[in-house]
Amino acid sequence: MAKKRIGILTSGGDCAGLNACIRAVTHHACHKGWDVTGILYGTAGLMRRPPAIMELTPDMLDTSYLRRAGTILGTINTGDPFAFPMPDGSLMDRSAEVIEGYRQLNLDALIGIGGDGSLAILRRLAQQGGIDFVGVPKTIDNDVAQTENAIGYATAVQVAIEALDRLQPTAASHDRVMVLEVMGRDAGHIALNAGISGGADVILIPEIPYSLEKVAEKIRAIRAGGRNFGLIVVAEAVKTAGGDAVTRSLSGQTRYGGIGQYLGDSLGELTGAEVRVTVLGHVQRGAEAVPQDRLLATVFGTKAVDLIDEGRFDRMVAWQNRRVVDVPLADIVNHSHQVDPDGPLMRSARQLGISFGD
Ligand code: F6P
């Protein structure tokens, strides 16, 4: 088997388990006698001249990288090379520069670890530039289609559960209702899974329309039943009663954030309860990877190298039915993995009396 030189990059928001995946790719590829080049800051590294890279070796990536948060390669979740924001406010197609940067590295294939947006962009670049590309799904949102789990999701859920574990005693001590706003973009996976595991009374997710009055009823019922505290988990993309997404502009990007405070204020008025709001934010991304993410990252990393070895490109590694598989990247572009309102978790949650405000 001819020696190969492969590239790897991380793209999109960081999450736990990225370094574990970079480590797995490097160890497996180097054991085959290949060279591994890490590309820094995703596609932005390929726009620089010379391209921004670091050579990766197994010695550099010891077992501490299984747990280490962040990504040693750096990442960006802005700067789509097909519509790159220029200083004068215009958008420029810089895809040819990225492809030329890749060419300068003389790589045989590229592994991209990213969410659905990044994987779609990387696939388009690969098609345009004739790049042999394999994708690895990562995102705390767990919204990549065709895979039950993406790297980083399990750790984010764990962080949200720990937050609920800490909110419950203070809620009980002060007779309060606590609202916890979690990330997840347009999918409610973090809110649903953490909410069930962390003992939430109400879980609001973007997939299920709710009414404020129904949530207020649940709070009143809890208090009428003699319990003095309540826990509410709300996913960041849940809309206001008027149907508006709560967003803000951060560094020129639109980001969700603030629905928790809206809910807290509204429920305080409707029920008279003392309500406090916690926005969990980026702590969901920065944690040490939990075992599930270390394992997923490791299995995905080695599988991605195997796909290159087998000459199978334009594919994404995925987790389905307790197995690592690979799927065509075409099947994930423009698709999203959202919470199934009729799925087993939803059914169990409803059977436990958890309210979804509907
Ligand atoms: O996609 C991951 C994610 O953390 C989302 O859950 C969240 O909406 C967004 O990224 C936050 O982006 P930023 O890091 O730009 O604030």
Q: Which of 56, 51, 55, 31 is nearest to 41 (CA)?
A: 51
Question: Is residue 100 within 8 Å of residue 48, measured between CB atoms?
Answer: no
The CA-atom distances, in angstroms, between 307 and each of 26, 121, 237, 314, 327 are: 14, 20, 35, 10, 11
CA distance 110 to 51: 14
CA distance 314 to 305: 13
The pLDDT of residue 1? 60
Largest Cα separation within the chain, whole Å, is: 72
Edge-to-edge, what's the strand order for the sheet holding 315-320? 53-56, 35-39, 5-10, 109-114, 133-137, 315-320, 323-328
Handedness of CA 294, 297, 299, 305 (dihedral sign): negative
Determine the residue of 77, 153, 253 to mutate for testing ligand 1's pocket, defined as the one with the most ligand atoms within 8 A of the Cβ atom: 77
Rounded to the nearest angstrom, the distance between the alpha carbon of 7 and the centre of ligand 1 is: 25
Would you say the CB of residue 18 lies under 6 angstroms from ligand 1?
Answer: no
Would you say the CB of residue 255 lies under 6 angstroms from ligand 1?
Answer: yes
- Residue pLDDT, tens place only, 318-357: 999 999 999 999 999 999 999 999 999 999 999 999 999 9
Would you say the CB of residue 256 lies under 6 angstroms from ligand 1?
Answer: yes
Q: Which of 346, 317, 299 is nearest to 25 (CA)?
A: 299
Q: Which residue has the tokens 């990044």?
A: 118
- Residue pLDDT, tens place only, 117-166: 999 999 999 999 999 999 999 999 999 999 999 999 999 999 999 999 99
- Residue pLDDT, tens place only, 5-42: 999 999 999 999 999 999 999 999 999 999 999 999 99
Predicted model pTM: 0.97
- Residue pLDDT, tens place only, 212-265: 999 999 999 999 999 999 999 999 999 999 999 999 998 888 999 999 999 999
Catalytic residues: 141
Rounded to the nearest angstrom, the distance between the alpha carbon of 13 and the centre of ligand 1 is: 6
- In ligand 1, the atom with minimum distance to the C-alpha of 140 is 2
Domains detected in the chain: 5-151+289-320 (3.40.50.450), 156-285+341-351 (3.40.50.460)
Q: Is the pLDDT of residue 301 over 80?
A: yes
3-state secondary structure of 172: helix
Would you say the CB of residue 77 lies under 6 angstroms from ligand 1?
Answer: yes
- Residue pLDDT, tens place only, 77-105: 999 999 999 999 999 999 999 999 999 99
